Amino acid sequence: MSQESTSGRNDRTEEFLRLYGQHDRALYAFILALVPNWADADDLAQETRLRLWQQFDKYAEGTDFEAWARSIAYYLILARREKEARNKLRFGLSFYQAVAKEYAAVPELLFLRQKALKRCVEKLEPQRRKLLEDYYGRGQSLREIAARLGRSYDATRKALYRTQRALADCIELELQQEEAEE
């Protein structure tokens, strides 16, 4: 391999890493929306990353990397769905189409909500914040949290829902305020 081609490949690798580093979180959210399971989404995210690298020669510089990456992820997800024909938990094709369309329409949704969410979490009461932290941060199940709190599973689930609902309302307000200020 000539020095020139090695250098070119290194540049290409750096370009891939740069683009992927910028978009991987949004891509992960897209995958999670289509495959709403942490473990499966992890696997698909990794599979997508490998496929992106494999196909990176076909990516046209200057075009929308995230859209290109989403399209590849989308097909990988559909391919996996085809393979899991016997899986009774798989969603209908219309689910994937609808979610992909919705996500593509507002690809900034994740980042729009990110800042606002951070501010809203700070406003939460400590016990509500602890609930979110246990569930999302520590990966504790609702049953574990319910057992720790000495509450029923349903009550804990509703408490978590109310917390997230309050958070969602707060995020909406924050976004409206932000829009008004600008």
Among 7, 8, 11, 82, binds another protein (CB under 8 A): 82
Give the one residue of 60, 85, 126, 150 binding another protein; rule: CB under 8 A.
Answer: 60
Residue 53 is a binding residue for another protein (CB under 8 A): yes
d(CA 121, CA 159): 15
As measured in angstroms, the least distance from the Cβ of 92 to another protein is 5
Give the residue, chosen from 8, 84, 115, 148, that forms a contact with another protein under the rule CB under 8 A.
115
Q: In whole angstroms, give the CA distance from residue 57 to residue 51.
A: 11
- Identify whether the C-beta of residue 111 lies closer than 8 Å to the C-beta of residue 175: no
CA angle (17, 18, 21) in 5-degree steps:
80
Q: Quote the least distance from Cβ 158 to another protein, whole Å.
A: 8
Q: Can you tell me the distance from the alpha carbon of 163 to that of 123, in angstroms, rounded to the nearest whole number?
A: 11
Q: Between the CA atoms of 82, 20, 139 and 132, what dihedral angle is there, to the nearest 10 degrees?
A: -110
Which amino acid belongs to residue 23? H
Toward another protein, which CB reaches closer, 139 or 150? 139
Query: Residue from 24, 149, 151, 166 that binds another protein (CB under 8 A)?
Result: 24
What mask of x and - would describe binding to another protein in positions 124 to 163, judged by CB under 8 A? Answer: --------xx--xxxxxxx-x------------xx-xx--
Q: Is 114 in the site for another protein (CB under 8 A)?
A: yes
Task: Please tell me whether residue 165 binds another protein under the rule CB under 8 A.
Answer: yes
Smallest gap from Cβ 140 to another protein, in A, equals 6
Contacts with 86 (C-beta within 8 Å, 6 or more apart), sequence order: none
